[in-house]
Structure 1
Amino acid sequence: MTPLKIVSLLPSATEIIHCLGLTEYQVGRSHECDFPAAVTALPPCTAPKFNPEGTSGEIHDRVTELLQSALSVYQIQTDVLEALQPTHILTQAQCEVCAVSLPEVEAAVASLTGIAPHILSLQPNRLAEVWADIRRVAIALLGDAGGARAEAAIAALKARVDHCQAQVATASHRPTVVCIEWPDPLMSAGNWVPELVSLAGGRPLLAQVGQHSPWITWNDLVKTDPEVIILMPCGYDIATTIRESQGLRDHPYWSLLRAVKTGRVYVTDGNQYFNRPGPRLVDSLEILAEILHPEQISPRYAGMGWRSLQDCLTFAAAE
């Protein structure tokens, strides 16, 4: 049997590999794969075609310009793939802005010599589809033996989901919530995020379960006037999210929002949690439950996965 040599071109796929206990067989990664930390020592097989530095508005304009020119947002390092000789490549068909697409990977593999790796493309839009992807990856990599390993991993994740639901079940109130996936222009977080909000004891607004993240307007935000606003920009950590919140805070409608008046705006590490449809969506669920129901749940992720924007700004002003 040919030894496994896995290349993952998607951070969530890398995390599925880790969840299945197969990290030792991963030989390559995308430029964004950084969990578990050990994978950062692996050679990156992708790179962005745009400058990822700058404001959210500037990044949006650069990506939009590439897409409007019918160009891909990322490039695949075919020379690295050639050297690695992978048996399996994990990629995605979810979002051409998030990572290299399936057609790009297929074209790159067609140009390689001497190898014909198995390509597995993931496209989850809700939790059940993440569980299904874990099964698909396990069976693709391990054959029939992967089934039992996948079921054990999924059962452990589902147990945490059930525990979280039980903790918030007795809450006396389910607050309305808007999750912001991009600050300029405004985008509400869709796909799996509304489902996570509901499981965490909230009522999601301005996005539908299993549907792609929609662009929204400031009028939409003011009209719905959520009790809680959670910032989780795609690819941003907490520090970057706090910095990028300045544009939101400068908008004349910002101070009109109920969540702003009551200090219920929160910043999260969207890059590590909410933006990656893999096993750590369960961590994301637990983060949401901590934010929405602090009276029910101890804040294990506070400071690392999320922070109150008001506390951040108060602390910065005091320095």
Structure 2
Amino acid sequence: MPDPQRIVSLLPSATEIVAALGCAEFLVGRSHECDFPQEVAGLPIVSRPRIDIHASSAEINRQVMQSARNALSVYDVDTAMLASLRPDVIVTQDLCAVCAVSLEDVEKAVCDLTGSDVDLVSCRPTKLAEIWTDIRRVARALGVTKRGNELIDRLTLAIEGIESQARLIEPKPNVACIEWIDPLMAAGNWVPELISRAGGTSLYGQAGKHSPWLEFDALAMADPDVIIISACGFDIPRSLAELPVLTGKDGWADLRAVRDGRVYVTDGHQFFNRPGPRIVETLEILAEILHPGRFAFGHEGSGWVRL
């Protein structure tokens, strides 16, 4: 790294990328959602949600939709705190205005920092290859391009190792991966690609495309072999608390995955919805779930549980 920099990360996956590049010591601020690695917990927080993130999934969705109708952001950026931190680099995202502070929000905040010369780095991954692109983008901004390439090589090697084993396993289970519980939304973006690499067939969502809404009747008609709950921003206990709205639906008990005991709840907060270095752990979780007894990475109980 040529010169010490002052980095503010407004995206959990970006914080993990910065840390994986060996630059965690240069982080001076974070978003309210950045919680890994643990040493970032003590950093000043420069964003906060305008909605009640502890509400039910249905109520969160209602508040988000209301904000969208009123052309309001879901998050606030603390411009005074941001100014006091004097960042050289701010890492944010330009993919989803619901998942994290948007690029537009940050641009407005930076405009308020008169005389500020800040390098804005925006992550926008929709598939695996674009996660690598974001790692390169962040590494270049931090002056550690070589480390970025080395990190990508390590992650790619780990993914290829799992994929090469999963490719040999038959049959390939049909998988419904649920990203939001009420209303139902299937997982899109990089998740269908990960399911395929883990040796499954994703019934919903397309690699590189936004997550699609899903009707329960369509889920019942497809009757997947495996159902995976990976609710965005929800850990396992939070998802389990929300599940009765889904498991109480007429026809739930008749689904093949339910009858066969192949419904799984994952930590959608730490995995699945963080397009950073721990995308490998997400693939490991999928491999463990889709092929019981064939893969054992130690994620059961912490990364996923059987319902």
Q: What's the TM-score bracket when you normalise by the shorter of the two chains? A: over 0.9
* Residue 277 (structure 1) aligns with: 275
Q: Number of matched residues?
A: 306
* Residue 304 (structure 2) aligns with: 306
- Identity value in percent: 50
Distance 2:3 2:78 in 1: 24
Distance 2:105 2:236 in 1: 31
* Residue 194 (structure 2) aligns with: 196
Contact 2:179–2:230 (CA<8 Å) still a contact in 1? yes
Pairwise CA RMSD of aligned residues? 1.0
Are 2:67 and 1:66 equivalent residues in the alignment? yes
- Superposition deviation, residue 180 in structure 1: 0.2
For residues 41-67 of structure 1, what are the alpha-carbon distances to aligned partners after superposition, in whole Å with 9 as ceiling and x for unaligned? Answer: 000110000111221111111111111
- Superposition deviation, residue 300 in structure 1: 1.0
* Residue 125 (structure 1) aligns with: 126
TM-score normalised by structure 2 residue count: 0.98
Q: Which amino acid aligns with 1:274?
A: F
Distance 2:116 2:92 in 1: 17
Are 2:173 and 1:172 equivalent residues in the alignment? no
Distance 1:182 1:54 in 2: 13
* Residue 317 (structure 1) aligns with: none
Distance 1:3 1:264 in 2: 49
Higher helix content, 1 or 2:
1
Distance 2:4 2:271 in 1: 31
* Residue 21 (structure 1) aligns with: 22
Q: Which amino acid aligns with 2:295?
A: I
- Superposition deviation, residue 246 in structure 1: 1.1
Distance 1:9 1:139 in 2: 18
3-state SS of the aligned residue for 2:142? helix
Specify which of 253, 257, 260 is matched with residue 259 of structure 1. Answer: 257
Contact 1:167–1:296 (CA<8 Å) still a contact in 2? no
Contact 1:218–1:253 (CA<8 Å) still a contact in 2? no
Specify which of 217, 238, 243 is matched with residue 245 of structure 1. Answer: 243
- Superposition deviation, residue 2 in structure 1: 5.4
Contact 2:284–2:297 (CA<8 Å) still a contact in 1? no
- Superposition deviation, residue 113 in structure 1: 2.9
Gaps of 5+ in 1: 310-319
- Superposition deviation, residue 19 in structure 1: 1.1
> Structure 1 residues 155, 299: CA separation in 2 closer, same or farther (over 3 Å shift)?
closer
3-state SS of the aligned residue for 2:48? strand
Distance 1:170 1:103 in 2: 45
* Residue 116 (structure 1) aligns with: 117
Gaps of 5+ in 2: none
Alignment of 1:219-234 (within 5 A): 219-234=217-232
Distance 1:193 1:124 in 2: 12
TM-score normalised by structure 1 residue count: 0.94
Distance 1:220 1:45 in 2: 41
- Superposition deviation, residue 256 in structure 1: 2.2
* Residue 6 (structure 1) aligns with: 7
* Residue 84 (structure 2) aligns with: 83
Distance 2:164 2:132 in 1: 20
Contact 1:9–1:90 (CA<8 Å) still a contact in 2? yes
Contact 1:82–1:113 (CA<8 Å) still a contact in 2? no
For residues 104-141 of structure 1, what are the alpha-carbon distances to aligned partners after superposition, in whole Å with 9 as ceiling and x for unaligned? Answer: 11111010134221001110011111011111111111
3-state SS of the aligned residue for 1:14? helix
Distance 1:158 1:3 in 2: 29
Displaced runs of 4+ in structure 1, greater than 4 A? none
3-state SS of the aligned residue for 2:243? helix
For residues 225-265 of structure 1, what are the alpha-carbon distances to aligned partners after superposition, in whole Å with 9 as ceiling and x for unaligned? Answer: 11000000000001111111111111112112111111100
* Residue 216 (structure 2) aligns with: 218
Distance 1:172 1:213 in 2: 27
Distance 1:19 1:300 in 2: 21
* Residue 315 (structure 1) aligns with: none
* Residue 313 (structure 1) aligns with: none
For residues 29-83 of structure 1, what are the alpha-carbon distances to aligned partners after superposition, in whole Å with 9 as ceiling and x for unaligned? Answer: 0000000011010001100001112211111111111111111000000011110
- Superposition deviation, residue 299 in structure 1: 4.7
- Superposition deviation, residue 222 in structure 1: 1.0
For residues 131-164 of structure 1, what are the alpha-carbon distances to aligned partners after superposition, in whole Å with 9 as ceiling and x for unaligned? Answer: 111111111110xxx2211111111111110111
3-state SS of the aligned residue for 1:222? helix
Distance 1:299 1:240 in 2: 23
Contact 2:189–2:210 (CA<8 Å) still a contact in 1? yes
3-state SS of the aligned residue for 1:43? coil
